[in-house]
């Protein structure tokens, strides 16, 4: 899961010499955040047998919301109706994205799930670019997805549908997150949105897992997942956006499917065949290409 990418017309490369040190720091922040969120998702899957997918996402989002509210301490006075609408929409997109994605990785391996999910931001980038090259990048991504489905011997259709739906919510998250970034300073908008996401995910999580969520070892693991999947990556990515052009940021984030596949392999022992790695590489290349050639 990623932070919103602000649209810009600034070229990704080359970087100006004066900006190079900050840019290199930004690249490191993005990569660290991406590794954190994917390994956090892999660790979350370890909790599924005990708390279920709905219980796990409720625990993760709620604990992340508490942490962000403590750190950001967002102001509530003086907010306009438009501010609340943006924060609420941002939170609904964030909550929906997490609920759908966790349902996906409960049914299909992590790498293919993120590969399908990243189609949402990819198509958003293609639509924004309105170029013939965008159609070609989309076709390359679809070829990768088709190859992935064939290489898996046919993905679970329900899990694949959840992953694609999570990708649509990811695209909405990007759009609404960019608007929230323009209305709220620092992490305030994200903290309010995470609180809304917690309100969305907590009822189904409690209905599914019940008192299991209050067991000490479940809470400890849930806190670790919240930090890895939300607290650390969101903070690092927001800091990175202050140092990098948005296009450079988005290209780096297109590595998500490959990192997810690696996390699935190392944490969950979800091995992939060579054809599946090729499929993921095609989607990564399509995502990077679409963003590099995109415009406002």
- Please check whether residue 40 is in contact with residue 222, taking contact to mean a CB–CB distance below 8 angstroms: no
What does the angle CA 234 – CA 91 – CA 263 come to, to the nearest 5 degrees? 40
> Band of the pLDDT at 291, cuts 50, 70, 90?
low
Which pLDDT tens digit goes with each residue over 86-120?
A: 999 999 999 999 999 999 999 998 888 888 888 88
Write down the pLDDT at residue 288.
75
Q: Is the pLDDT of residue 67 over 80?
A: yes
Q: What letter would DSSP give residue 15?
A: P
Q: Are 60 and 226 in contact (CB under 8 A)?
A: yes
- Alpha carbon distance 217, 47 (integer Å): 10
Higher pLDDT, 126 or 81: 81
Span 26-65, pLDDT tens digits: 788 888 988 999 999 999 999 999 999 999 999 999 999 9
Residue 14 has pLDDT above 80, yes or no: no
Quick check: 147 pLDDT over 80? no
Model-level pTM greater than 0.85? no
Q: How many CA atoms within 13 Å lie on the side-chain side of 238? A: 18
pLDDT at 85: 93
Contact 283, 115 (CB under 8 A): yes
* Average pLDDT for the chain: 81
pLDDT at residue 158 in the model = 93
Residue 152 has pLDDT above 60, yes or no: no
- Kindly report, residue by residue over 240-264, the tens digit of the pLDDT: 767 776 666 767 777 888 888 889 9
pLDDT at residue 18 is higher than 90: no
Q: Decide which of 199 and 121 is more confident.
A: 199
């Amino acid at each position: 899961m990623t932070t919103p990418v602000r649209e810009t017309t600034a070229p990704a490369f080359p970087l100006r010499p004066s900006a190079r040190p900050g840019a290199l720091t930004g690249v490191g922040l993005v990569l660290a955040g991406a590794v954190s969120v994917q390994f956090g998702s892999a660790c979350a899957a370890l909790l599924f047998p005990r708390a279920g997918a709905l219980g796990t996402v409720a625990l993760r989002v709620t604990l992340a919301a508490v942490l962000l509210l403590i750190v950001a301490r967002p102001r509530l006075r003086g907010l306009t109706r438009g501010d609340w609408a943006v924060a609420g929409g941002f939170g609904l997109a964030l909550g929906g994205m997490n609920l759908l994605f966790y349902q996906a990785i409960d049914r299909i391996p992590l790498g293919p799930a993120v590969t399908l999910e990243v189609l949402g931001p990819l198509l958003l980038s293609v639509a924004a670019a309105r170029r013939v090259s965008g159609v070609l990048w989309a076709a390359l991504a679809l070829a990768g997805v088709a190859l992935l489905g064939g290489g898996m011997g046919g993905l679970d259709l329900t899990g694949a549908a959840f992953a694609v739906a999570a990708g649509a919510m990811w695209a909405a998250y990007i759009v609404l997150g960019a608007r929230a970034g323009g209305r709220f300073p620092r992490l305030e908008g994200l903290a309010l949105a995470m609180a809304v996401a917690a309100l969305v995910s907590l009822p189904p999580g409690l209905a599914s897992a019940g008192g299991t969520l209050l067991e000490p070892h479940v809470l400890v693991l849930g806190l670790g997942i919240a930090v890895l999947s939300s607290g650390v990556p969101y903070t690092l990515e927001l800091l990175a956006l202050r140092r990098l052009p948005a296009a450079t940021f988005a290209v780096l984030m297109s590595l998500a499917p490959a990192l997810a596949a690696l996390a699935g392999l190392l944490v969950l022992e979800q091995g992939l065949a060579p054809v599946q790695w090729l499929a993921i590489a095609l989607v990564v290349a399509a995502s990077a290409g679409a963003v590099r050639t995109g415009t406002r």
